[in-house]
Each structure stands twice: as C-alpha cells, then as structure tokens.
Structure 1
C-alpha cells in the first residue's frame, strides 16, 4: 500500500509537471465563466418578463423559473461529459504508454510490485479526476445560486453519483491500459461510454412507445456500462417537483433526464464494477509478459 500511494503521488506530480492541471484550471474557469454569463443574461430576461407581466418576482422553485432549472441540468451534464472525457484522456496510457516508450522496464527494476504500480496509477488519476469534477460542479451550482437563487433539491447525492461514474470510467480505462495499446484502449472505452449513452436513449424510447424490448435493451446497455444510469440518477436529485412533473407528463421522452431515482442495486453494481476493474487490472499486469 505504501508503494501504491507513492506511485499515486508521482502520478499527481506528473500531471502538474505536464501542466495538465494548469491547463484544466484555465480552460475550466473560462467554461464556467462563459456558462454563468449566459445564465446571468437569462435571469435578467426572465426578470424583465415578470415585470412586464405585472409580477413582483419569481419563485426560484416555481414554473416561471423552468429555464434556469434546465440551464442547471444542462450545465451539470456538460460537467459530467467533460469529466468523463478527462477521465479517459488522462489515464488512457496509464500503463500502456510506459510500456510502449520503454520506461516501464526501468520502473519495474525498482522494488515496486506490478500490482502496486497499477493501484497507484489508478489512485492518482482518480484523485485528479474526482477533485476536478467536484470543484467544477461546486463552482457551477454556486454561481447559479448567486445569480438566480435556485438550488437543486439534493445536490450532494447528485454530485456523488457523477463522481462514482468518473471513478468507474477511470478504473475501466486503467484496466484497458493493461490489456491493449494506448490507441485501442481509448477507442474501446469511448465505445463503452457510447453504449451506456445508447442505453439511456433506448430506455427513453422504449418507455415512450411502451416497447418492452427496447426497455430491456436499455437495461442491458446500462448494466454493461452504468455511467449513463448514474447520470440519470443524478438528474433526479437535481430536479425540483415542478420539473419532475413536466418529465412525467412527457413520459420520460428526454433521454438526458430521469424522473425516477436510480435503483440502489445499480449504484452497488457500479461501485463493485469499478473495484473489479482495478483488481483485474492489477492481476492482469502482474502476469503480463513485457
């Protein structure tokens, strides 16, 4: 465990040395500022409409504030997508890149077990990705609150589910890094991510059209890659009652948002899936012929 933590620390230092953290902070600050400026202009427009209608003000959780609520949901979806993209790109070569460059031979010459190396790599990249998504989520939700006064009903469980999805993606990417080349690993993880997204679309279409086959296909895809199911579960905690009622009236036609909470079994499966991916990566690399 000590060596694994040392490798994790070295991974963090590597990210800082390559200016990954600095570039992320600058670009993310620009993204959050750009998005919040849009919310600010939207808030001004809604206030003016309320004045024109002879209203003294708008309720932050009322139907008149639906545009801000949707802006919050789509903003968090962008955070989830950016976090997923970062999780793949940051760890796609966690092991394979060092093997391809020949660095791995010099690393393994030291008293570090292969399993410890994989665990340390996963811990380091997961810490970077999770902290990044948590900070961006906090900045976005806090900014929207300061501008409009709107606060999602349960932001902490929502962000927690998103962070679990990011942890799972990082674990699967590290696993792929022990099995495939860097390029093949990146393609494979993105295909899995797309399969999870397709599961959400199929499930939404199946619910709208009362098609048990599509609903079943959606569940299979979400089981194979639960990231989209975790996102849908997060959206349930981000929506106030008025927004849930709108979603129920449309019978879940929007594949990006859900009107029902995620099953506890799916959350447990996603956590177990991530742990199994890391353990399998440790086992596979320990027996891989370099």
Structure 2
C-alpha cells in the first residue's frame, strides 16, 4: 500500500506539473462566477415581479421559485457532466500513454509491482476528480443559497451520488487504459457513457408512451453503465416535493430528472463496479506484455 500511495502522490504532482489543477481552478472560478451572476439577475427579476404583483415575498421552495430551483438543478447537472468529462480526460492515458512513450518501463524497473502502479494511479487521479467535483458542487449550491436562500431537500445525498459516478468513470477509464491505446480507450469510455445516457432517454420515452419494452431496455442500459442512473438518483434529491409530484403526473417526460429515488441495489452495483474495474485493471496490467 505504501508503494501505491507513492504512485498516487506522483500522480498528484504530475497533475500540478501539467497545470491540470491550475487550469481547473481558473475555469471553475469563471464557470461559478458566470452561473451565479445569472442566478443573481434571475433573483432580482423575480423579486421585482413579486413587488409588481403586490406580493410581500416568495417562498424559496414554492412554485413561484421554479426558475431558481430549475437553475440550481441544471447547474448541478453541469457539475455532473464536467466531472464525468474530467474523470475520462484526466485518466484516459494514465497507463497507456506511459507505455506508449516509454515511461512505464522505467517505473516498473523499480521495486514496485504493476498492480501497485495501477492502484496508485487510481488513487491519485481519483482524488483529483472527486475533490474537484465536490468543491465545484458545494460552491455552486452554497452560492445559490447565499443569493436566493434556496437549498435543495438533500444536497449531501445528491452530491454523494454524483461523486460515485465520477469515481466509477475514473475506474472504468483506468481499466480501459490497461487494455487499449489512449485514443481507443477515450472513444470506448465515451460510448459507454452514451449507453448510460441512452438508457435514461429510453426509460423516459417508455414511461411516457407506456411501452414496457423501452423501459426494460433503459433499465438494462442503466445496469450496464449506471452513470446516468446515478445522476437521475441525484436529481431526485435536488427537487422539492411539488416538483416531484409534477414529474410523476407527467410520467417522467423529462429524461434529465427523476421523480423516484435510485434503487439501492443500483447504487451498490455502481460501487461494486468501481472496485471491480480497479481490480481488473490491476490484474490485467500485471499480466500484460510491454
């Protein structure tokens, strides 16, 4: 484990050396600033409309605050999407790129096993990705609260599901990096990500059109790649009760949100898939001919 932590530390230093962290900080500040400025202007507009209508104020979780609630929900979807993108792009060449440029031969020549190299890569890049998404999501929700006073019903549970999705994508990308070239790995993981997204759309269409076959196909796709299912589970915890009721009446017509909580079995499967992907990557790289 000590060697794995050493590789994780080297991976973190690599992220700083390649200015990955500095670029993330700058772009994240710009994103949060841009988004919260829009929330501020929206809040001012809604307050003025309330005054013009002769109202004393608006309920933070009432129907009159739907624009703010929807904006916060969409902002968290952007956090999930950016985190997914970050997980793939930061890890896509974690093993394969070092093999292609000859760096890996010098690393494994030292008293360290290949499995420890893979585990260290996951711990290092996984830490960067998870911490990044956690800070970004917390900053967004905190900013919305300070401007509007609105807090989602269960932000902690929602953020935890998003972080699990990011960790899972990091693990799957790491596994692909031990199996394929960097380019092929990137394409393959994005295709898998698309499978999960397609599963959400199929389920929404199947529910709206009362077509059990599409619903079943959507569930199969979500089981194969539960990243989108984790986001839908997170969206459930970000909606107040009246929005959940509206979504139930419309029979899940919006494929980006869910009116039902994610099954615990699917959460357990996503966590197990993360562990299995890392274990498979360690096993595969230990037996790979360089």
Both proteins in one fold, TM over 0.5:
yes
In structure 2, how many angstroms separate the alpha carbons of the residues matched to 1:23 and 1:289?
35
2:252 match: secondary structure: coil
CA distance in 1, matches of 2:214, 2:53: 44
SS in 1 for 2:218: helix
Match of 2:108 in 1: 108
Query: 1:63: how far off?
Result: 0.4
Q: Which residue number in structure 2 is paired with residue 132 of structure 1?
A: 132
Indicate the residue corresponding to 1:193 in structure 2: 193
What's the offset of the Cα at 1:107? 0.6
1:172 is displaced (CA, Å) by 0.2
Paired residues, number: 290
Which range moves more in the overlay, 45-54 or 112-121?
Answer: 45-54
User: In the alignment, what sits opposite 1:215?
Assistant: 215
Deviation of residue 82 (structure 1)?
Answer: 0.3
TM alignment of 1:57-72, pairs within 5 A: 57-72=57-72
What do residues 52-108 of structure 1 show as CA deviations (whole Å, max 9, x unaligned)?
A: 111000000100001100000000000000000000000000100000001111111
Residue 290 of structure 2 corresponds to residue 271 of structure 1: no
Give, in angstroms, the shift of residue 246 of structure 1. 1.7
Deviation for aligned residue 1:249: 1.9
Looking at structure 1, the residues matched to 212 and 242 of structure 2 have their Cα atoms a distance apart, in angstroms, of: 28
User: Is residue 21 of structure 1 aligned with residue 21 of structure 2?
Assistant: yes
3-state SS of paired residue (1:93): coil
Counterparts of 1:252 and 1:285, CA distance in 2: 43
Q: Distance in 2 between matches of 1:219 and 1:61?
A: 31
Cα deviation code 1:170-213 (max 9, x no counterpart): 00000000000000000000000000000000000000000010
Report whether the alignment pairs 1:31 with 2:31: yes
Q: Which residue of 2 aligns with 1:86?
A: 86
Q: Map residues 1-290 of structure 1 onto 2, 5 A cutoff.
A: 1-290=1-290
What is the CA–CA distance in structure 1 between the aligned matches of 2:160 and 2:81, rounded to whole Å?
15
Q: Secondary structure at the match of 1:59?
A: coil
Aligned-pair CA distance for 1:120: 0.3
Deviation at 1:37, TM superposition (A): 0.5
In structure 1, stretches of 5+ residues that fail to align are none
- Computed over aligned residues only, the root mean square deviation of the Cα atoms, in angstroms, reads 0.5
Tell me, what secondary structure is at the counterpart of 2:255?
Answer: coil
Q: CA deviation at 1:242?
A: 1.5
4+ aligned runs moved over 6 Å, structure 1: none
Q: Tell me by how many angstroms 1:49 deviates.
A: 0.9
- For the residue of structure 1 that corresponds to 2:208, the secondary structure is helix
User: 3-state DSSP class of the match of 1:199?
Assistant: helix
Q: How far off its partner does 1:121 sit?
A: 0.1
